[in-house]
Chain A
Amino acid sequence: MIPGKVIGRLVASQRLDAFKGVKFLLVQPIDERSEAVGKPLVACDAIGANVGDRVFMAQGREATFPLPDKFNPADLTIVAIVDEIS
């Protein structure tokens, strides 16, 4: 899984049916000091994260499990909101 910080939302109304009911968020990957590493990504939200939240995300096949439609093409899904990194 990879850590990140939610920096924005993304609306794509015309999209695959398999994404029905899924919210897209813009996430900046971070390190243990919450500093940005690498480029922002688009993640599906399975937890109800908001802009500003630190999160961690499942990648690849694991990203598909938490979403409503079993056959979704997700490759990155937020699975937890981080309270503390110490």
Chain B
Amino acid sequence: MKLARVVAQVVSTQKHPFYKGQKTFMVRHVDLEGREEGSPYVAVDRVQAGVGDLILLLQEGSSSRTMFNEPEAPVRSTIVGIVDHVELEP
């Protein structure tokens, strides 16, 4: 999993059946200082995240499908946690 931030909400009506009823966001990876890196992904939200939240991002297809219990869901990125704070031990 990766540390990431929610940067926008993504609304779509014409979509694959799996995505009906799912909330989707655009997310960007962040480093441990919270600086955004790379280009954004679209992720399905499972924890009522909001724009601006620091999140735990799962980006693995079979884990996501197991979680949704849908063997043929075209999903890879899923928001699985909202991060309160990160503690680095020196």
User: Contact residues of A with B, CB < 8 Å?
Assistant: 1-3, 29, 31-32, 37-38, 46-48, 56, 58-63, 65-66, 77, 79-86
Interface-centre pick from B9, B24, B42 (highest chain A CB count, 10 A): B42
Interface residues of B (CB under 8 A from A): 7-16, 18-19, 24, 26, 39-43, 61, 72-77
Contacts of B16 in A (CB 8 A): 46-47, 66, 79-80
A51 to chain B, nearest CB (A): 15
Neighbour of A60 across the interface among B15, B42, B61, CB < 8 A = B61
Tell me whether A62 and B75 are in contact (CB under 8 A).
yes
Report whether B39 and A62 are in contact in the complex, using a CB–CB cutoff of 8 Å. no
